[in-house]
Amino acid sequence: MKKDPRTDAPDAFDDSREEPAEPAPPACVLTFNANDPSGAAGLAGDVATITAMGGHPLTVVTAVLMRDTAEIFDQLPLDEEAVVEQARTILEDVTISGWKVGFLGSADTVAAVAEVLSDYPDVPLVAYVPDLSWLDEDQLQPYQDAYRELILPATEVLVGNLKTLTDLLLPDWDSERPASARELAVAAGDRGTRYVLVTGIALPARGATAYVDNVLASPQGALTGEKFERFDTAFVGSGETLSAALASLLAAGSELQAAVGEALAFLDQSLDAGFRPGMGSVVPDRFFWALPAAGEADETGEAGVTPGGPDETEEPAERAQEQETKRRVH
């Protein structure tokens, strides 16, 4: 008996058949930070890093920096009500999976941002502490007091180099030895922060080679970390890159210690591929993985960009050579 194609053929319009699964959308990460016209740090650095890590950045401007690739000269803090309005507007529309907090401009804005954060206690927050030695003392002291009181209790991971974290968490530290990562984590934990990621910890030289350590710690002790060789090149934007990468990974659901390892590896490769756009410091290249290798060409014979992420392409040969002349101090 022959089959009737009119009755036995699959119905092209049969709604009961399963549709191909759509790819999951990128995790949305909201970052509070200053506008940095150099593109090395601030919101520009956060946008580049979050995008490179596969996330979708949502940006709230907290201040406008007057700076170049060498130093910060001044800032213009935004009114705290304008900062809150930016955040509330997008939060009513988009579901976020992670926060990143950078420089907030003023103590009043710190308080306003903390109020926004308090409405989303289950969203992981990565807070980055930049070097604020350029601020006047009458601005710096109230800023740090507000930050300790209001941001630290909401923070999952506090990121910063050894000096900036010591200044914030242990301002009365007077020992000749530097504070340990665990001691910083205990001080942060007293304020409600769960973990600290301390960068730039100097280690004893091994022969002619010096190293710095980067350690994730809780009040119970060190959990994980990575050592990097120290070189003489100065970078700008490394801490912003590390913290934004970590925020992106946590937003995507990565486990903390694995996320820290991946974020440190991403930073290391971004610095190895770094470039000097001006007369100041070297800027991390967050899209190192999208650059064509030396001599690589597409089918048309022209240099092409290999799609994918950091694990899918090799570092360009010319950039790899720079690894011998740079330091990886975070």
Q: Is residue 15 part of a domain?
A: no
Q: How far apart are CA 187 and CA 282, in angstroms?
A: 33
Which CATH number characterizes residue 183's domain? Answer: 3.40.1190.20
User: Which of 64, 53, 34 minimizes the C-alpha distance to 254?
Assistant: 53
pLDDT value for 210: 86
Report the amino acid identity of residue 87: A
pLDDT value for 14: 53
pLDDT value for 216: 98
Q: Is residue 18 part of a domain?
A: no
User: Which of 114, 103, 94, 90 minimizes the C-alpha distance to 46?
Assistant: 103
pLDDT value for 230: 82
Fill in the DSSP letter of residue 235. B
Judge whether 232 and 212 are in contact, CB under 8 Å.
no
pLDDT, one tens digit per residue, over 190-230 is 999 999 999 999 988 777 678 899 999 999 999 999 998 88
Q: Is residue 23 part of a domain?
A: no
User: Can you read off the two tokens belonging to residue 286?
Assistant: 């967050």
Q: Is residue 4 part of a domain?
A: no
Number of folded domains in the chain?
Answer: 1
Q: Is residue 183 part of a domain?
A: yes
**Terminal-residue alpha carbon distance, the chain:** 76
Residue 211 CA, chain-centre distance (Å), reads 22
pLDDT value for 24: 83
Fill in the DSSP letter of residue 61. E
Q: Is residue 7 part of a domain?
A: no
Q: How far apart are CA 16 and CA 282, in angstroms?
A: 57
pLDDT value for 40: 95
Determine the structural domain holding residue 220 and report its residue range. 28-289+307-322
Q: How far apart are CA 291 and CA 293, in angstroms?
A: 6
Q: Is residue 156 part of a domain?
A: yes
DSSP strands (E only) in the chain: 28-35, 56-67, 72-77, 98-101, 125-128, 157-161, 195-206, 209-218, 221-229
Using the Cα atoms of residue 321, residue 326, residue 329 and residue 330 in order, give the sign of their dihedral.
negative
Q: Is residue 63 part of a domain?
A: yes
pTM of the full structure: 0.84
Q: How far apart are CA 269 and CA 313, in angstroms?
A: 12
Q: How far apart are CA 125 and CA 111, in angstroms?
A: 16
pLDDT value for 281: 95
List of the chain residues with pLDDT < 50: 1-3, 5-10, 12-13, 297, 299-330
